Amino acid sequence: MSKTQLFDLDGKIAFVSGASRGIGEAIAKLLAQQGAHVIVSSRKIDGCQHVADAIIADGGKATAIACHIGEMEQIHNAFAQIREQFGRLDILVNNAATNPQFCNVLDTDLSAFQKTVDVNIRGYFFMSIEAGKLMRENGGGSIINVASINGISPGVFQGIYSVTKAAVINMTKVFAKECAPFGIRCNALLPGLTDTKFASALVKNDAILNMALEQIPLKRVAAPSEMAGAVLYLASDASSYTTGVSLNVDGGYLS
């Protein structure tokens, strides 16, 4: 009996934003382990190169490309490089996001609002458009949007961030419906509390952490690697009939 090939990504080109650390790094490493050539991306090239080097040292294929997804010009430049170097893209993981202000919604300032919308909504939207055009030319692909449980149940003092994550869940359905004719699937991952730099203010504060754990049936925070398996499923042929869904990976929080 032979093992399943459903999760193989041999010959695939995958772009992972926010891959220099945290959840994105874990995703980039797992996709590379499964055979994909991974484009490791974030704002700062050094962190990306570090992750790409680790993938290559492990026998995988990776390239580092810097891209601030809140800057339209940088999105266009990144995709110009992808076209030139690879001529195709099979998998896009929109993972990089921002949450600059932790406050009561009434205290939201305009610059934090604008930054959060520019990165978390406009960034995901136009990255998906650029990727979708390339995928359409090559017969299809898979887009995975890393949203959040906050997109369903807003996090305390995370107002505009939660609003943008709800938009990502809707955006996922829009691309799923309109890009299905081109063989492009689009799905969302909704992580629960995960131990990364992004969540350090919550995870490193005992009082906040204990309050959060009360609401998590599995009674622990996730490791970044625990998000990667779900992304592999959504990126690979194992999910060939799945599009437009939100997959909660949250220790039971939303159940």
Ligand X SMILES: NC(=O)c1ccc[n+]([C@@H]2O[C@H](COP(=O)([O-])OP(=O)(O)OC[C@H]3O[C@@H](n4cnc5c(N)ncnc54)[C@H](OP(=O)(O)O)[C@@H]3O)[C@@H](O)[C@H]2O)c1
Tokens of 247: 């997959």
| 239 in contact with ligand X (CB under 6 A) | no
Position among 196, 243, 246, 248 found at the interface with ligand X (CB under 6 A): 196
Position among 11, 44, 223, 252 found at the interface with ligand X (CB under 6 A): 44
SS (H, E, C) 7-66: CCCCCCEEEEECCCCHHHHHHHHHHHHCCCEEEEEECCHHHHHHHHHHHHHCCCEEEEEE
Phi, psi values for residue 243, rounded to 5°: -150, 145
CB of 241 to ligand X, least distance (A): 26
Q: Which is nearer to ligand X, 1 or 161 (CB)?
A: 161
Instruction: Mark whether 241 is an active-site residue.
Output: no
First and final C-alpha spacing in the chain: 37
**Contact stretch for ligand X (CB under 6 A) within 40-48, 129-137, 170-178, 212-220:** 40-48
- CA 152, chain centre distance (Å): 17
| 198 in contact with ligand X (CB under 6 A) | yes
| Spatial distance between the Cα atoms of 71 and 86, rounded to a whole number of angstroms | 22
> HSE-up of 198 (CA within 13 Å, CB side)?
24
CB of 68 to ligand X, least distance (A): 4
Q: Are 179 and 130 in contact (CB under 8 A)?
A: no
Tokens of 28: 């980039």
Position among 9, 14, 17, 248 found at the interface with ligand X (CB under 6 A): 17
| 79 in contact with ligand X (CB under 6 A) | no
Of 161, 233, 241, 253, the catalytic one is 161
CB of 62 to ligand X, least distance (A): 14
| 76 in contact with ligand X (CB under 6 A) | no
Q: Which residues are catalytic?
A: 161
Q: Give residues in contact with ligand X (CB under 6 A).
A: 17-24, 42-44, 47, 67-70, 95-98, 119, 146, 148, 191, 193-194, 196-199
